[in-house]
Amino acid sequence: MNKSDPNYELELIKRIQKESDGLAIKKLCKIYQPMINTVKRKYYLRLYDEQDWEQEAMIVCYQSALDFSTKRGRFGSYFKRCLNNHAISILRKQLSAKRIINNNSVSWEKILFDGSNMVQEPKSIDFNLPTSASYEEWLAELSDLELASLLINLGKVDEEYVKTSLGVTSKTISRARFRAFQKIRKSILE
């Protein structure tokens, strides 16, 4: 059969509908490659290369072939409309408000390649080291169990010794450690 023959196209569509024939999908896409290229040139989809476009076109071709009925007219016009709608949906998703920061981003490699000064390193770093008075304030806020759990975490005291001397479980020590870290974090951030 001739590839330009409408019966050949309908035969491919029937094979896709009945058997999900991958070879028939490829042949159908090959017939409509000029139309696919036209749609591809019409829309710029960020980070889409030739293979991405081919894959999307094959997926849409497959869906269009499954949904196609001769009552809808010609397959070519139906496939083109479906591919256009699919490209618009992808474009709409890329341009949504929550993805706008991704669209405006620039790769680190591009910045290095261009040699631009978009990123500036800080000239100096100001570390505010806690003073001994800060340490005393932290320690005053901790209970004996919380202090013991910190000492266990630092490797200064054995956990078994704390459990037997205070009569607590590992879970209690773990909770106390969490509370201690929360108190220290809170006093550092204030």
CATH number of the domain that 79 lies in?
A: 1.10.1740
Identify whether residues 61 and 138 lie together within a single domain.
Answer: no
Identify whether residues 151 and 93 lie together within a single domain.
Answer: no
Instruction: Give percent of the chain above pLDDT 70.
Output: 84
Task: Judge whether 111 lies within some domain.
Answer: no
Instruction: Give 101 or 92, the one with higher predicted confidence.
Output: 92
User: Which domain range does residue 78 map to?
Assistant: 6-101
Instruction: Give 14 or 44, the one with higher predicted confidence.
Output: 14
Task: Judge whether 112 lies within some domain.
Answer: no
In the chain, % helix, strand, coil (3-state, to 5) comes to 70, 0, 30
Instruction: Give 72 or 133, the one with higher predicted confidence.
Output: 72
| Confidence (pLDDT) at 120 | 62
Residue 132 has pLDDT above 90, yes or no: no
Please count the structural domains in the chain.
2
Identify whether residues 92 and 137 lie together within a single domain.
Answer: no
Task: Tell me what the mean pLDDT of segment 132-136 comes to.
Answer: 68
Q: Cα–Cα–Cα angle for 37, 41, 44, nearest 5°?
A: 130
| Separation in Å, CA 48 to CA 42, 90, 93 | 13, 11, 14
72-103: string of b/e by CB count within 10 Å (b at 16+)? Answer: eeebeebbbebbbebbeebeeebeeeeeeeee
Residue 92 has pLDDT above 60, yes or no: yes
Task: Judge whether 118 lies within some domain.
Answer: no
Instruction: Give 78 or 46, the one with higher predicted confidence.
Output: 78
| Confidence (pLDDT) at 47 | 79
Complete DSSP assignment for 24-88: HHHHHHHHTHHHHHHHHHH---TT--HHHHHHHHHHHHHHHHHH--GGG--HHHHHHHHHHHHHH
Identify whether residues 64 and 15 lie together within a single domain.
Answer: yes
- Among 47-51, 96-100, 116-120, 134-138, whose mean pLDDT is lowest? 116-120
Instruction: Render pLDDT for 19-33 as a digit per residue (tens, 0 to 9).
Output: 988 899 999 999 999
- On whether the CB atoms of residues 78 and 68 are closer than 8 A, the answer is yes
